[in-house]
Amino acid sequence: MEKKPHFVRREFLPREVPSISLALLLAAVLLLNVLLYLYLNKFYSSLGRVETDPGLCPFGHFKFGAVKNCSPWLSCEAINREVRKLKCVGEGAVKKVFLSEWKEKKVVLSQLTNSELKEDFLHGLKMLKALQSKHVVRLLGYCEQQFTILTEYHPLGSLRGLNETLHIPKYKGMNTWHRRLMLAIDYVSVIRYLHSSPLGTLVMCDSNDLDKVLSQYLLTSDFHVLVNDLDALPLVNRSAGRLVKCGHRELRGEFVAPEQRWPYGEDVPFQDDLMPPYDEKTDIWKIPDVSNFFLGHVEGSDIVRLHLFDIHAACKKKDPAERPSAQEVLDTYRKVLTLLVREAAMPGTREML
């Protein structure tokens, strides 16, 4: 009889402990979900910074560095008087680029080098003015008469140097699947912006190979992606039956979309006037290859690729009409990020429950 109370206690305690543990576990899961929600909400707010960022200046103005007030774009006179060239840092088919200085700040001065391509240069300037946003490099001034453009300087340079940058000790902490996926999201956000821009649906034509694509974009010091070169950005207008062709020469290779390749075989010589035009879905075809570069070969990147397999397969549909829109790709990328961040924050939670 004296052992009975002892027996009851031994039977009762194991029932109580799991219920308390379960309550604590559920509370922890709830807290982690709240923290995850706050983090992703902040992240997505930064992704939607194009139209809603209160820091954007009115058209024709810019804000530089920590300065609070907006200033008008610099004129020819101001550029000639106040901007000092330091050194040439690049040269392409259209323009030469100089690291320069303005009011003790580093800036970039671009000047036309080939007078035969002045229309391309002026088109790039027109796009740069019209598309100013957090997706596009900041315009500081220009001089049409002298074919000169002044833009903000980003010391990390173009995306071609991304892997080298991530191996610098200062930035090694950024070399994770999470940060790399966020850069890919930035890139797709730029494509989405161009496809639904204030000017209409624009196609990124300077994209015939991966190296060329990467050279068109800049990596900011806070690890965001900006489009920098807008010289080749034709407009698609389906309602008016207006499609595009990226240049007047034959394009080859698997990187460019099937509809950008000569469709009549090797036996028929290429003729530009016989080449069918196409639309913005050429940009969608290239997204998987560019994203693959972004993801690199860090721990976890293969898991990201696995989650993106279906959307990337859809991007590679031979029929352009069957490919997703840039918005659909962006939505999928964001969902994958949300899923993987949740799984990283709460490993094994599902099995525990």
Of the listed ranges 59-68, 98-107, 260-269, 326-335, the least confidently predicted one is: 59-68
Intrachain domains 71-153 and 154-346 with the same fold: no
CATH architecture of 71-153: 2-Layer Sandwich (3.30)
Confidence of residue 64 (pLDDT cuts 50, 70, 90): confident
Alpha-carbon distances, residue 169 vs 37, 80, 156, 179 (angstroms): 31, 39, 14, 16
Confidence of residue 34 (pLDDT cuts 50, 70, 90): low
| Ordered DSSP codes for 186-237 | HHHHHHHHHHTBTTBEE---S-SSHHHHHHTEEE-TTS-EEE---SS-PEEB
User: What share of the chain in percent tops pLDDT 90?
Assistant: 75
Domain chopping of the chain, boundaries:
71-153, 154-346
Question: Is 178 a residue whose pLDDT tops 90?
Answer: yes
Cα–Cα distance measured from residue 161 to residue 177, given in angstroms and rounded to the nearest whole number: 17
What pLDDT was estimated at residue 21? 66
- Closest C-alpha among 294, 283, 320 to residue 196: 283
Alpha-carbon distances, residue 33 vs 241, 335, 350 (angstroms): 48, 15, 13
- Report the Cα–Cα distance between both ends of the chain, in Å, rounded: 39
Cα–Cα distance measured from residue 185 to residue 75, given in angstroms and rounded to the nearest whole number: 35
What pLDDT was estimated at residue 352? 43
Cα–Cα distance measured from residue 161 to residue 225, given in angstroms and rounded to the nearest whole number: 13
In this structure, what are the phi and psi dihedrals at residue 323, rounded to the nearest 5 degrees? -80, 150
- Closest C-alpha among 108, 206, 203, 216 to residue 160: 216
pLDDT in tens, 287-296: 999 999 999 9
Mean pLDDT of 188-210: 97
What pLDDT was estimated at residue 219? 98
**DSSP structural state of residue 163:** H
State whether residue 84 is helix, strand or coil. strand
List, in order, residues 6 or more apart from 113 with CB less than 8 Å away: 91, 94, 95, 96
Coarse DSSP helix, strand, coil percentages of the chain, rounded to the nearest 5 percent = 50, 15, 35
Question: Is 12 a residue whose pLDDT tops 50?
Answer: no
Choose between 25 and 246: higher pLDDT: 246
180: exposed, middle or buried (Cβ count in 10 Å: 0-12, 13-18, 19+) = buried
pTM confidence score? 0.84
Mean pLDDT of 46-59: 58
Mean pLDDT of 90-102: 92
Choose between 266 and 29: higher pLDDT: 266
Beta carbons of 60 and 132 less than 8 angstroms apart: no
**Superfamily per CATH, domain 154-346:** Transferase(Phosphotransferase) domain 1 (1.10.510.10)
Cα–Cα distance measured from residue 215 to residue 342, given in angstroms and rounded to the nearest whole number: 34
Half-sphere exposure of 334 (CA within 13 A, CB side): 20
Question: Is 33 a residue whose pLDDT tops 90?
Answer: no
Mean pLDDT of 107-112: 97
Confidence of residue 10 (pLDDT cuts 50, 70, 90): very low
Question: Is 23 a residue whose pLDDT tops 50?
Answer: yes
Quote the mean pLDDT of the chain: 88
Half-sphere exposure of 345 (CA within 13 A, CB side): 19
| Ordered DSSP codes for 57-76 | PPTTEE--TT--S-EEPB-H
Question: Is 351 a residue whose pLDDT tops 60?
Answer: no
Mean pLDDT of 212-220: 96
pLDDT in tens, 128-162: 999 999 999 999 999 999 999 999 999 999 999 99
**DSSP structural state of residue 244:** B
Task: Tell me the residue ranges of DSSP E strands in 123-190.
Answer: 139-143, 148-152
Half-sphere exposure of 346 (CA within 13 A, CB side): 20
